[in-house]
Chain A
């Protein structure tokens, strides 16, 4: 699914069946244990129920699993809403899966159990068995936490929170009588041990920007979309920036954005937070409910931007953990469109990736095949319905060169598509039976 998984495949191919008996935390590259026979791996499809409004996805999440063969077969009919299993989350579940697809990880989003991490063993069909032990991260990260599984082989989940953004001279703060200097919140970075179902560690601190930026009212509003670097010693965290009008205290909607920023912290200690800046992109890079930065096969980190005035970019962070501003890949430019936004994306292998985008010229979303090395992009040839939206899309499965994704317009039937990352060609897989107001949000 991730790059590490591919490494494993490569290794397997070269060396036959081996057991990786040792694997240091630091290299972060290889999975801790081999996936069991990926031929038999399950493909789990997730769908979001509407609550009050069609497409809001707030009514809860249901899942259903099929074999990889069934997933490829257009004759297979999957109806997650009538045959699936309800995942315990008041609103859309924030799902992740193990690399071999045998385990689903969920953190409930809001509700009485908001912040509760649980594991489900995938047994096929609607059979998902929840493990006995639950762990709740809400005390550290809130009841609607943002979290992702780290690219370290199912070992770690990273949850992030930014709380209580306030001016340095706020009445409740430590220096109420000081002159205004900054707006800052308190960041929480938390590591969840996915295997043991335990909180492993956490830190809480403020993350300053430069004095000039802070004086203008810029601050980090949200953190998400974390990725581990190739050396495994730094965690790169995406940001969602906000600007306050320092004269009124109100948040500004339309303002001149700074270059895209990421927060770099030591791993696994989370110490020494620092901010790196891009001069290429000006958008946010925290993503939304899915990975937004990936470690590429070339050892660089590739990161998408959103809310970028010039449309989404793919940015590159090199192995020195700084932005490589010589790398310029504009989706607007590559596609010849305007207002391109990457809603979600997936790195496949060898610099090839797929992105789910929207742009100014159409109401619906599109699937785009990208070559990160050549900095080219093209819209994948498949049917695009006017009601196709990817804004809540959460999950892809990477299997070799293939990327599996669910394509359903709100309220209409769709299909699993198998995207060949070497050719950019989409092949239609199993039919996803939909219901009015609902949509499928991912494959795990």
Chain B
């Protein structure tokens, strides 16, 4: 009876549609499992026109009033594996029948699917962006930096093991031209203790890496790119915890949970992490030698002995979510602390003992967001943070040590003093305190379905004070202060046109920076010398603008173009100089400017047949940097102190391409391969005499310019127990050799590297417990990110993850 009623309704509907709207059609379809059973209550969704329905208990569904044209239909349910397919409506009634696969481990896969759709949504906006999902990787004993390093076009260079100093290279741009954000807020708000070194992947939802062109909502002067870490917002009412232990006495633990009262909307979220490693891995080779009293070398194999790292942090947010007056209103407190021993400086040839840093951050935050604020289509968001950061650099040990951690003894039998007083430089216990305020506010207004305005403003201020306990009282009194205030405004217009085939994002940015410098000076007043203040402030402002567009060439193929005139404001040292390095100030120094361009092609999933699928991404890029800030050279010997400022003299250019291909076989095999190759070149063509520089268009030294990464995953279902799964991982990274100086001799060339890791995990049938194991650097190869700094060799790690959902 019910069935025939529905049929009748369908028929009627068809008639009405046919009569009333000749340019629209309808879809009527059925959803079945492989074995023919109907898929009931599945969601059927056409994103581009926001049409949505559910299948009935016999698997039937219908969508009406659909304008003629191509569409992507998306079917999802807790019972099935998510399925996307394309249709073209060119008649009034399109009949479809779709066969779907049963979901195996519904809970995990469900979340992964959601993430992937977020990933593809961002990746289709036109920006040159990779979105790194952390869901699967967080089950393994991997660091956040490992995930970044495997991503296309990203090169992470770390000065040793867990916790050591890191720099990032995005498409040939590195150093302070790459900015890092946490939830859209500059990471300097948190400092070293809450950084990509300490935040475990399990607390991260995803990482967005924007290369060269940065969207308006990430408001900072990022010349070469931005890495935005989105912390997990969390599925509600869950608790997850994991514990990992492995080589080099490495222990990593993290925990996160959230609670929401569905009546009041009261929400509490909390997370915490703990990392510890001795990093006492073995090093060897030509850079690892003990120097005998007579100066001769003795090459040794030694364990690092002053390299321990510990970090601990917690974050709690309390407030309301999804209530009438706010989508979210959360007040948060983030505390983190780290301790980091430093084994050596730029090169590992001289081991240190007793040098370490400690840092702490206490951050209080408030976050508010609301869609349809006052009027329909208007979303507002606000983020405010006040941070108190403390850092201590401690280096007081006066003697030389060898690689066995023992004092070096000189020819006359005495321990040898370090040439500059302590391990790295002069003895120091330097306390650097920063108080930072970051306020970010934004509004998004959809003034029609296809047009959107985005405004974002960031205000950032940092007051820094310094106190070196090993300086005398008067010296301490005469240390200056530097206070920085930065305002970045961005306005973007986004349009989606031509039946959603074309997306454009046009944006302008305005950067303003003020730095106040106060240096104490002695002034003579009534014949007496008193302490006075010499104050100067520097104001810099500059506009920037850019565009990101995407065009769907075919259903499955999107063409992406983005460009930006990006800037980097000069740093305080570049403006005010550094008396200790004899650099004088240059108040008029201009920002560095780079014209960045990306052209790319990104595909959706192509099915070779039902079991073999692949997708790909290729992109070419250009970074044309001008007004690079470099230090002027003084040709005169006579100046009592070398007094040269920084100047806008340099020009570099980076041209390259990158690509990624993803192949899947059934649901078992997933292969990801990416590569990046670029030429980062010296770009000043003529010297003052009009002669062409030999370096012109030559590769800059110390750039890892060619990298390949691959990860392979194979999943076995129902191993040992039903509804369990066993996943195997393999990953490999290749970095081609490169010269580290302009002088191209073999001694200054890094070795070619190929480092391989394997891992596995077993997901228990209850889907709550996951046990994983990893073997990193399986062939114990010498790995180098930086010249003459060896990274950890073979390491074995075990990890247990536990999740409780819906308590």
Q: How long is the Cα–Cα vector from A202 to B347 in the complex, in angstroms? A: 25
B589 → A minimal CB distance (Å): 15
Indicate if B9 sits at the interface (CB-CB under 8 A): no
A247-B638 in contact (CB<8A): no
A51-B742, A142-B420, A167-B472 known; A436 vs B522 contact (CB < 8 Å):
no
List, in ascending order, chain A residues with CB within 8 A of B400's CB.
139
Indicate if B715 sits at the interface (CB-CB under 8 A): no
- Over the window 618-648 of chain B, the binary record of Cβ atoms lying under 8 Å from chain A Cβ atoms (1 yes, 0 no) is 0000000000001111111111110100000
Indicate if A90 sits at the interface (CB-CB under 8 A): yes
A112-B640 in contact (CB<8A): no
Contact of A250 among B410, B478, B635, B787 (CB under 8 A): B478
Indicate if B108 sits at the interface (CB-CB under 8 A): no
Indicate if A163 sits at the interface (CB-CB under 8 A): yes
Contact of B743 among A61, A134, A245 (CB under 8 A): A61
B419-A169 in contact (CB<8A): no
Q: How long is the Cα–Cα vector from A199 to B409 in the complex, in angstroms? A: 13
Indicate if B470 sits at the interface (CB-CB under 8 A): yes
Q: Which B-chain residue is minimally distant from A140 (CB atoms)? A: B416
Indicate if B687 sits at the interface (CB-CB under 8 A): yes
Q: How long is the Cα–Cα vector from A254 to B640 in the complex, in angstroms? A: 8
Contact of B420 among A137, A164, A169 (CB under 8 A): A164
- Over the window 455-476 of chain B, the binary record of Cβ atoms lying under 8 Å from chain A Cβ atoms (1 yes, 0 no) is 0000000000000011110110
Q: Which B-chain residue is minimally distant from A171 (CB atoms)? A: B470
List, in ascending order, chain A residues with CB within 8 A of B347's CB.
111-112
Contact of A54 among B410, B521, B688, B744 (CB under 8 A): B688
List, in ascending order, chain B residues with CB within 8 A of A412's CB.
689, 691
B584 → A minimal CB distance (Å): 10
List, in ascending order, chain B residues with CB within 8 A of A90's CB.
741, 748
B685 → A minimal CB distance (Å): 10
Q: How long is the Cα–Cα vector from A7 to B691 in the complex, in angstroms? A: 46
A112-B787, A199-B411, A248-B475 known; A358 vs B636 contact (CB < 8 Å):
yes
Contact of B689 among A134, A197, A198, A387 (CB under 8 A): A387
Q: Which A-chain residue is minimally distant from B479 (CB atoms)? A: A249
Please report the number of residue pairs spanning A and B whose Cβ atoms sit closer than 8 angstroms.
188
Q: Which of A139, A169, A341 has the most CB of B within 10 A?
A: A139
Q: Which of B410, B416, B743, B745 has the most CB of A within 10 A?
A: B743
Q: How long is the Cα–Cα vector from A435 to B296 in the complex, in angstroms? A: 37
B687-A411 in contact (CB<8A): yes
Indicate if B331 sits at the interface (CB-CB under 8 A): no
B741-A60 in contact (CB<8A): yes
B343 → A minimal CB distance (Å): 15
Indicate if B35 sits at the interface (CB-CB under 8 A): no
Contact of A411 among B412, B638, B689, B747 (CB under 8 A): B689
Indicate if B694 sits at the interface (CB-CB under 8 A): yes
A53-B636 in contact (CB<8A): no
Q: How long is the Cα–Cα vector from A288 to B520 in the complex, in angstroms? A: 33
Indicate if A253 sits at the interface (CB-CB under 8 A): yes
Size bracket of the B interface: 35 or more
Contact of A134 among B297, B421, B471, B475 (CB under 8 A): B297
Q: How long is the Cα–Cα vector from A138 to B408 in the complex, in angstroms? A: 12
A163-B417, A288-B637 known; A112 vs B296 contact (CB < 8 Å):
no
A49-B742, A163-B417 known; A133 vs B296 contact (CB < 8 Å):
yes
Indicate if A238 sits at the interface (CB-CB under 8 A): no
Indicate if A143 sits at the interface (CB-CB under 8 A): yes
Indicate if B557 sits at the interface (CB-CB under 8 A): no
B743-A62 in contact (CB<8A): yes
- Over the window 595-639 of chain B, the binary record of Cβ atoms lying under 8 Å from chain A Cβ atoms (1 yes, 0 no) is 000000000000000000000000000000000001111111111
Indicate if B76 sits at the interface (CB-CB under 8 A): no
Indicate if A351 sits at the interface (CB-CB under 8 A): no
Report A's interface with B, CB cutoff 8 A: 49-56, 59-62, 81, 86, 88, 90, 111-113, 117, 133-143, 161, 163-164, 166-167, 169-172, 180, 186, 188, 192, 197-199, 201-202, 204, 245-251, 253-254, 288, 306-307, 339, 341, 343, 358, 387, 389, 391, 410-412, 435-437
Q: Which 5 A-B pairs have the closest CB atoms?
A: A164-B421, A60-B743, A249-B475, A142-B419, A436-B687
Given A164-B421, A172-B396, 14 more contacts at CB 8 Å? A52-B650, A53-B630, A86-B745, A134-B296, A136-B297, A188-B419, A197-B296, A248-B474, A250-B579, A253-B641, A288-B637, A435-B693, A436-B687, A436-B692
Report B's interface with A, CB cutoff 8 A: 287, 291, 293-297, 347, 349-350, 396, 400, 408, 410-412, 416-422, 426-427, 469-472, 474-475, 477-478, 520-522, 529, 579, 630-641, 643, 649-650, 686-689, 691-695, 741-745, 747-748, 787-788
